[in-house]
Chains A and B, each alone.
Chain A
Amino acid sequence: MKAFQYATALTTDSARELVADNGMYIAGGNDLLGLLKDYLVTDPKILVNIKSLPGMSQIEPGDKMWTIGALVTVADLEHDAGIAKVFPGIHDAAMEIASQQIRNVATVGGNLAQHSRCWYFRHRDIQCLKKGGDMCYAREGENRYHCLFTGNTCISPVVSSLGTTFAALDATAIVLRDGKEKRMNMAEVYHLAWENPLAHNSLRPGDMIVRVEIPTARSRSVYMQVSDKHTFDWALVSCAAAAEVTDGMLSQPRVALGSISPVPHQVEAANNFLDGKSLDDATVSAAADMILKDAKPLEHNAYKAPMAHALICRTLLQLKGNA
């Protein structure tokens, strides 16, 4: 990697000042160090350690809303008894992330902001569209892990399991931008990646995710993924669903899928369709059809459509089941 300065910030203001125009924040560093070692990010002149920023490492319960600090580790989420009870989907998503060692240092903010895992993007000797090159190699190439949906030429999917789950829970990320707090839902956090191949989320240089707020309006949530392997493997497809369930009837249902689009894949029409429904096999299958309707499979990733269909049905049926 190239040489850089390193500083530890004690306030968000000083962090922003230190990072200036050409620095980057570092917390767990899992993603950033990999990018630096393979020369994949624009050379930061300074890495600003934000792990000592106060008040960002707590999980705070609340009646209407829980707050999760951006520096809370994935392991914290996994082991928090309150999260497991109130947001079982978050618990399950956290458990599936990487390995125990990585979960111990990976943070919520870093998980949301992590970069593309596309093997063309990550390859040191390939200058692909996402790196400012002139073509997406995956489109006509090895695209087994890539998108069924995209709004641009790049087909690298979002892989944040937490982003997918937060989307289903209608969570809000609070992003510090130019000294002000900006509230973004998950669609907004990732929107830019939908239209711009150079982006992997909507954050601007100097933006810092400081916390995530999760409404308690949906008492049930589920997360599932399918990978090639049983653990420590990326999802081929992931799916999260959340809703309130009263007498078997859903209210405020939300479904989101990961690893099939540059953004957590959500179809409002399907959410509306499910609202007020009592779930059975036919209903969940119809919802899955709606969610996957405009999928555009490529040569090697068409399997993701039936896999996603199965996961949508399973998460919804489990939503109904896990009282």
Chain B
Amino acid sequence: MPSWPTNPKYISGDTRRIDGPEKVSGRARYSSDIQADGWLYGMILRSKWPAAQITSINLEPALKIPGIKAAITVQDGERMVRFYGEELAAVAGTTKQACLDALLAIEVVAKPSPLFVVNETEGKAPDAPKVWENASNVDASSPREQGNVDTAFGECAAVIEGFYTTPVQLHNPMETHGSTASWTDNGLTSWASTQGISSVRDGLAGALKLDHSQVRDITEYMGGGFGSKFGPGVHGVLAARLSQAAKAPVRLMLTRFDEALAVGNRPSSFQKIKLGALADGTLHAFEFDNYGTAGIGAGAATGGGGSGVVLPAPYIYKAPNTRVTQASVAINAGPACAFRAPSHPPASFGMESAMDDLAAKLGMDPLELRLKNDSNEVRQREYKLGAERFGWAAKYKKPGSSPGIVKTGVGCAGAAWGAGGPSRRTQGEAQINPDGSIEFRLGVQDLGTGTRTVIAVVAAEMLGLKPDQITVKVGDTNYPPGPGSGGSTTCASISPTVYDICTKALDQLQTQSGITDARGDNWFAACKKLGVSPLVVNGNWIEGLSTKPAYGVQFAEVDVDTETGLVTVKKVVAVHDCGLIVDKLTTESQINGGVIMGLGYALYEERVMDDLSGVVLNPNFETYKLSGIADVPDIDVILVNMPERGVIGIGEPATVPTAAALGNAVANAIGVRVGSLPITPAKVLAALGKVPPVEKT
């Protein structure tokens, strides 16, 4: 069996991003930077109605606008639209303004329907307007039962009932969704901002009836993806069709407005939880009734997986008696798709809130209640490490006992991420040149998390070179195929693949050169003996160097101003494992990012829709609020390195427990639960009973 080096020089060390200088100097070409020869702007016309029958779309007036080179409809003939922002048509032109003018000029004849619903609580009512003509809005699973819940609650020493809700969270990567597409007689080239270059190629080939060999995607650098950038998307296919029609490359990057409507999102949840424990704190009975919305459906435009409403319950805990009922409610809103750790942050928020409420009722320290009921050994270890670093024993006080107007509170929560394992189909190649230079080529992509650096670190370790001596090429479907970057799988896929390439490369180099150990000091001498022909070696993912899953726990400390309701996060301690840590710096960076994203979910982010008009009211960063630097606390990352487990991904678990830990810290500070995310000043004041009831006019 292969194994990782036991005393590594670079693996588990602090290697700076090898592409850092490219990025900070602006030399790195992101998808939105691509300027193909003769390129045009592309833009999409969207439905102004949440529900309508489209009778006709007249593109002629758009084509008369100076500079417009192509205009197409998304689909011919009559059709229905089911949410505000659904794509209707697209134009390509020489300037942005020409495209904007063209969008205004297109004549859409539509019969808007007053029968729509954009609120999931209203959408599940029997008399609600139907989103799909031939289906109920409510897709309910039959209750899942184990033991005897009703009897078991009677046996409990403490029982709590709570209602915990989470909003629809929007995808807002720094680089919006989109691509440049160039369709010529030689085929189609796409430069997409994507998490899966292969899925873009295959999706475009399928949609446009081209051979896979005629389609190429190139994604050198892209500005972030959290589950919504798989496949070409509606926008990617439109870019390609516009390019075909205009006979020129078309860059179609979505605007921030577009991003709020149709690229996918995290479903909402409305979790009714009843939880009971025996006197010693052992969980005994659990009842869960949850509904939420994935808009008109899940994954419609994006091809992402795991985007449903159904949550794992009772999340990371076990109870002998459980009843779980869940329902997905269709509404006239953009569809859901995968979103960093699909279903886990809401599941964690509901269950971990209930755990703290139960601890309060039992008069127990919530950390003790977790240690009592969490059978996972890794988390047990992480809770102890984290509690010590955080100073839990000294900081934890009974809920609401913090004195003064600004109250301090602490909370914690745990994570599980069942994926994070490898894609076994991962392949790659290396070209070793007689001058000793070496280039790795893998058909994966870098979301900004450090894919190139991971490849360089593993290669440097295996070959006895330095990371900056390794050239890494990723983000091109002409390279040997790799997986999409979702499910936290990239690191566990490419690390063993690079290991395999290096092992084979050394074997061949040593055979050809006659040098018995070609590593390190002997490298250049061995390469020189190759003569004039570079050595090209292929490798693939191999067993034994990667596993799954990952765990993690987080602790949070907050200040809550009980007169204004403002929550200030003072400290987060994040304890995470991901097996063998390949590069500490980029791992910590992933965890910082996960915590900051979780903080936004906890305190600021929420898609707001208007019942009357059916529009998204906050399609911008002014009112769709994201954590800013002044909102971010000191984040203390503790990595638990477990080389014996092999490589595991970390992207997703890092964001799972943050909102739950923060919510618990707020409840601990003020002595009452704010059960609804985001925890805004308005909701804090309401929970404290300071908001007078409003008389209905």
Contact = CB atoms under 8 A, between A and B. Distances in A.
Contacts of B84: 125
Most chain B beta-carbon contacts within 10 A, residue among A119, A120, A126, A298: A119
* Interface-centre pick from A126, A145, A306 (highest chain B CB count, 10 A): A306
A43 to B, nearest CB: 13
A311 B631 contact: no
Interface string B680-691: 111001100011
B623 A226 contact: no
Contacts of A277: none
A142 B566 CA distance: 21
Contact of A142 (B565, B610, B625): B610
A229 B625 contact: yes
A228 B563 contact: no
B44 to A, nearest CB: 14
A229 B631 contact: yes
A230 B630 contact: yes
Nearest to B678: A228
Interface stretch (B71-79, B496-504, B612-620, B637-645): B612-620
Nearest to B562: A310
A226 B681 contact: yes
A196 B658 CA distance: 46
Interface string A119-135: 11001111000000000
A137 interface: yes
Nearest to B568: A230
A210 B275 CA distance: 65
B628 A236 contact: no
A228 B97 CA distance: 35
Interface string A65-100: 000000000000000000000000000000000000
A228 B690 contact: no
Interface in B563-578: 563-566, 568
A126 B615 contact: yes
Contacts of A126: 610, 613, 615
B691 A120 contact: no
Interface in B284-341: none
A236 B630 contact: no
Contacts of A234: 622
A302 B615 CA distance: 24
B681 A307 contact: yes
A142 B625 CA distance: 16
A140 B565 CA distance: 24
Contacts of A311: 564
Contacts of A229: 604, 625, 627-628, 630-631
B615 A305 contact: no
Given A140-B612, A141-B611, A307-B565, A228 B680 contact: yes
Q: Main secondary structure on chain B at its contact with chain A? A: loop
A306 B685 contact: yes
A145 B680 CA distance: 12
B682 A142 contact: no
A228 B615 contact: no
A63 B97 CA distance: 52
Contacts of B613: 125-126, 137
Nearest to B623: A119
Q: A120, A145, A229 — which one has the most chain B CB atoms within 10 A of its CB?
A: A229
Contact of B681 (A119, A140, A228, A305): A228
A267 to B, nearest CB: 19
Interface string A288-323: 000000000111101101110011001000000000
Contact of B690 (A124, A236, A306): A306
Interface in B496-528: none
A51 interface: no
A177 interface: no
A273 interface: no
B617 A142 contact: yes
A310 B617 contact: no
A291 B578 CA distance: 57
Contacts of B685: 303, 306-307
A298 B691 CA distance: 12
Interface in A240-256: none
A228 to B, nearest CB: 5
B694 interface: yes
Contacts of B603: 228
A230 to B, nearest CB: 4
A144 B682 contact: yes
A11 interface: no
A231 B617 contact: no
Contacts of A302: 691-694
A234 B630 CA distance: 15
A237 to B, nearest CB: 9
Contacts of B48: 125
A310 B561 CA distance: 10
Contacts of B693: 302
Contacts of B629: 231
Given A119-B617, A125-B615, A311-B564, A298 B625 contact: no
B682 A141 contact: no
Nearest to A119: B617
B535 interface: no
B148 to A, nearest CB: 42
A120 B615 CA distance: 10
Contact of B612 (A137, A228, A303): A137
B608 interface: yes
Contacts of B692: 297, 302, 305-306
Given A142-B608, A311-B564, A236 B682 contact: yes
B564 A228 contact: no
A123 B625 contact: no
A142 B616 CA distance: 11
A124 B620 CA distance: 12
A270 B638 CA distance: 54
A140 B685 CA distance: 22
A125 B85 CA distance: 11
A233 interface: yes
B631 A141 contact: no
A231 B628 contact: yes
Interface string B592-626: 00000000000110001011110101100011010
A84 B627 CA distance: 29
A303 B100 CA distance: 40
A119 B692 CA distance: 25
Given A125-B615, A126-B613, A230-B628, A303 B691 contact: yes
Contact of B565 (A145, A299, A303, A305): A303
Contacts of A1: 97, 100
B631 A230 contact: yes
Contacts of A142: 608, 610, 617
Interface string A140-169: 111011000000000000000000000000
A123 B615 contact: yes
Given A234-B622, A314-B563, 6 more contacts: A142-B617, A230-B628, A233-B628, A303-B691, A307-B564, A311-B564
Interface of A: 1, 117, 119-120, 123-126, 137, 140-142, 144-145, 226, 228-234, 236, 297-300, 302-303, 305-307, 310-311, 314
Closest 9 pairs (CB-CB, A-B) = A310-B563, A231-B630, A303-B682, A230-B630, A306-B690, A226-B564, A119-B617, A303-B685, A125-B48
12 contacts: A1-B100, A119-B608, A119-B617, A119-B623, A140-B612, A141-B611, A141-B612, A226-B566, A230-B628, A233-B628, A236-B682, A305-B692
